[in-house]
Structure 1
Amino acid sequence: MTLIDGITSRSVQTPRLRANVLERAGDREHGGPVVVFIHGNVSSSLFWQDTMLSAPEHWRVFAIDLRGFGDSETLPVDATRGLRDFSDDVASVVAEMGLGSVHVVAWSMGAGVALQYALDHPVRSLTLQSPVSPYGFGGTRGDGSRLTDDDAGCGGGGANPDFVAHLESGDTSSDSQASPRAVYASSYVVPGFVSEHEDIWVESMLSTKTGVDNYPGDGVPSENWPGFAAGTRGVLNTMAPRYLDLSGIVDLEPKPPLTWIHGANDLIVSDTSYFDLNYLGELGVIPGWPGAEVAPAQPMVTQTRRVFEAYASAGGTFQELVLENCGHSPHLEYPEAFRDALVATVEAAGGE
């Protein structure tokens, strides 16, 4: 595992799992805000290193590898619990380390983990980057209602088998469009973005454990287009709408301050996501699409905005930052803007 100078790692054994945790060398044990970073799908805590190093000196910062990612223990993921296996793991690490009520910063699928964590545990603030829709990934209308009873087109059956094969083989090249490096360059960031740490980001992606109990999970046959539906095991099924509905955040009391940061050119979490099979059907990439009345693309960003606006209307504090010419990874693509928004959120919420 490649660590940038100034970042250290430790193994934390909890009653649930052995978790790998990154921290910043020299952070004081007491005195400042405690900030926990949660990574997204097909990644690990390695992606947070630069952001952790740029945090104010009086903060204590930690990044946790979720089960089956990075250097944490590989354990089965029960998709029927939504993202709770992951959020319960985070809670067990926070408890074992005695961190108390923390500020949570989270990315993509990890932002869903953070929302579930906030529903179950007090948090001081939430900074969510490119979050999965509160209604899961794929298979819902704008109001969050499910398109089919079996969540057709969602979950583990929708993963690109070539991409999974490249993960399993540890491919670090860009020879194939389905290689992790090529997917990073085309989807994690806007095309043309250059990072000096790209090799580390690819290493992070390759730490993803594959299989039906991890990434991507299983699928089941369906009579509905495109012919498969969400299974019960593994990572992608955790975000199937039958298992994941985080819209209850609107009724949370007390409501922590919430900041939403996302790129205007995100291809993964979008109202026109290239990872939503219904949208690909609309484009003709997947044949046999039954039309927008039956299988509309999921308006992911619109759904998120509606839920967060309702959160604010119910007494919460919510702000949105949209970055132009930015993809799925604002903390990499616009680190200063991301840091400024994060610092403003944490410092306004306060706490030690």
Structure 2
Amino acid sequence: MTLFDGITERVIETARLNVNILERAGDEPSTPPDRTVVLIHGNVSSSLFWQELMQDLPTDLRVIAIDLRGFGGTEHAPIDATRGVRDFSDDVHATLEALDIRRAHLVGWSMGGGVVMQYALDHPVLSLTLESPVSPYGVGPTRRDGTRLTDDDAGCGGGSTNPDFVQRLIDHDESDEAPTSPRNVFRSSYVADGYTSENEDVWVASMLTTSTATGNYPGDSARSENWPGFAPGRIGVLNSMAPQYYDVSGIVDLGEKPPVLWVHGTLDPIVSDSSLYEFNNLGKLGIIPEWPGDEVAPPQPMVSQMRDVLAAYSAGGGVVTELALEGVGHTAHLERPAEFRHALLTVIGYVGPSAHPAPPTEAIIIRSAD
């Protein structure tokens, strides 16, 4: 059983594709926009990851979690990576239109953070909550200001994934027998040491919904004359975040700037200034041979890039709150649910009888980006 008590699922037919969503039994479709929260998951996951948060949010909110294409129960349509993450964000918009939701509070985790930033560039939103979001300049070889290191973005995209991990997704491997099994990747990369959950089997089942069909995860790759010898292709999940196709830093120029909450863990190994999933950093660590050095291939400063863009957003009149959680990995909403929930309710301006008490202030670090 992967659905928790009170959580239901259904498929929404849109003009683009059939989209699976999770809802809470009893949520009222007529709930106004300012009390509607839409949750967008990250890469190699699905809406199943949101269920604890869905159960814990006040009952007078309407909460919806959407499966992106190629994940969960949504149709496994191919991804045109040359559009960046627009295939994903356009699918979200089509789904919300079908549900007659014109505006909402959007929450995006990891790759989902990039999706909701792209959504905000194209459509009005009430607020953005970015949990461990992909850099606004994508995942790939870029300097702190977002400028690209090579013309072909060598070292990122579909060729950057461990093929054994992909095979274990194909095999629906639920074991913990190898470091590359989805279960061990969850334990080592999604959460920090010390996190345990009786729902781990559900999180692994969610990861295993990832489609590895052509055009989905991870995507194709191209040969490159630049180190480490490969570059992004044109289809698939990882290529959609390559810097040549993806750049959402334009949010700083939005005329109507929704409030932004940025939540991230200090021990995140995926989205980091020294990411263990970034080839230039792996080269610097000696894990990938023949690294050409910092002048040619410096590690991507993902967190610093996010902070700089949000600082510019704040300077341009936007309200930004940063919640940096000590000792937390990539998945704050699982690892520190009380702090995450309280910060989310604050950014959406929630006031109601079913609000939970705020967690102890010493447990969180909140500051404006300025």
User: 2:28 matched to 1:28?
Assistant: yes
Stretch deviating more after TM superposition (187-196 or 265-274)? 187-196
1:125–1:349 contact (8 Å) kept in structure 2: no
Mapped partners of 2:111, 2:240: distance in 1 = 9
SS of corresponding position for 2:90: helix
- Please name the residue that 1:203 is paired with: 205
* CA offset digits 1:278-331 (Å, max 9, x no partner): 000000000010001000000000000000010000010101000011000000
SS of corresponding position for 2:119: helix
User: 2:237 matched to 1:235?
Assistant: yes
Deviation at 1:29, TM superposition (A): 2.2
Mapped partners of 2:202, 2:158: distance in 1 = 26
- Please name the residue that 2:196 is paired with: 194
Mapped partners of 2:331, 2:54: distance in 1 = 15
Deviation at 1:192, TM superposition (A): 2.6
1:157–1:230 contact (8 Å) kept in structure 2: yes
1:257–1:349 contact (8 Å) kept in structure 2: no
Deviation at 1:30, TM superposition (A): 2.2
The verdict on how the C-alpha distance between 1:235 and 1:7 changes in structure 2, with shifts beyond 3 A counting, is same
1:37–1:106 contact (8 Å) kept in structure 2: yes
Deviation at 1:349, TM superposition (A): 10
Query: Amino acid of the residue matched to residue 15 of structure 1?
Result: A
Mapped partners of 2:18, 2:274: distance in 1 = 38
Question: How high is the TM-score relative to the length of structure 1?
Answer: 0.98
User: 2:157 matched to 1:155?
Assistant: yes
The verdict on how the C-alpha distance between 1:255 and 1:262 changes in structure 2, with shifts beyond 3 A counting, is same
- Please name the residue that 1:115 is paired with: 117
Q: Name structure 1 gaps, 5 residues minimum.
A: none
- Please name the residue that 2:248 is paired with: 246
Deviation at 1:184, TM superposition (A): 0.1
Mapped partners of 1:134, 1:104: distance in 2 = 16
- Please name the residue that 1:89 is paired with: 91
Deviation at 1:348, TM superposition (A): 5.9
Mapped partners of 2:213, 2:251: distance in 1 = 31
Mapped partners of 1:349, 1:318: distance in 2 = 20
SS of corresponding position for 1:68: coil
User: 2:17 matched to 1:17?
Assistant: yes
Deviation at 1:212, TM superposition (A): 3.6
SS of corresponding position for 2:53: helix
- Please name the residue that 2:325 is paired with: 323
SS of corresponding position for 2:256: coil
Deviation at 1:31, TM superposition (A): 3.5
Query: Amino acid of the residue matched to residue 225 of structure 1?
Result: W
Query: Amino acid of the residue matched to residue 290 of structure 2?
Result: G
CA RMSD of aligned residues (A): 1.1
SS of corresponding position for 1:347: coil
Deviation at 1:90, TM superposition (A): 0.1
Residue identity (%): 60
SS of corresponding position for 2:10: strand
1:271–1:299 contact (8 Å) kept in structure 2: yes
- Please name the residue that 1:67 is paired with: 69
- Please name the residue that 2:107 is paired with: 105
Deviation at 1:195, TM superposition (A): 1.0
Query: Amino acid of the residue matched to residue 17 of structure 1?
Result: L
Match of 1:141 among 133, 143, 149: 143
SS of corresponding position for 2:322: strand
- Please name the residue that 2:274 is paired with: 272
1:185–1:192 contact (8 Å) kept in structure 2: no
User: 2:260 matched to 1:258?
Assistant: yes
* CA offset digits 1:132-154 (Å, max 9, x no partner): 00000021011100000000001
Q: Name structure 2 gaps, 5 residues minimum.
A: 353-370
Stretch deviating more after TM superposition (20-29 or 258-267)? 20-29
Mapped partners of 1:255, 1:195: distance in 2 = 37
Mapped partners of 1:74, 1:272: distance in 2 = 32
SS of corresponding position for 1:312: helix
Deviation at 1:196, TM superposition (A): 1.2
Mapped partners of 2:197, 2:256: distance in 1 = 39
Mapped partners of 1:2, 1:312: distance in 2 = 40
Runs ≥4 in structure 1, deviation > 2 angstroms? 29-32
Deviation at 1:259, TM superposition (A): 0.3
- Please name the residue that 2:356 is paired with: none
- The equivalences for 1:217-236 within 5 A come to 217-236=219-238
- Please name the residue that 1:172 is paired with: 174
Deviation at 1:99, TM superposition (A): 1.2
Deviation at 1:211, TM superposition (A): 3.4
Q: What is the aligned length?
A: 350
SS of corresponding position for 2:264: strand
1:51–1:331 contact (8 Å) kept in structure 2: yes
Deviation at 1:57, TM superposition (A): 1.3
User: 2:291 matched to 1:289?
Assistant: yes
Question: How high is the TM-score relative to the length of structure 2?
Answer: 0.93
Mapped partners of 1:349, 1:93: distance in 2 = 27
Stretch deviating more after TM superposition (305-314 or 205-214)? 205-214
- Please name the residue that 1:2 is paired with: 2
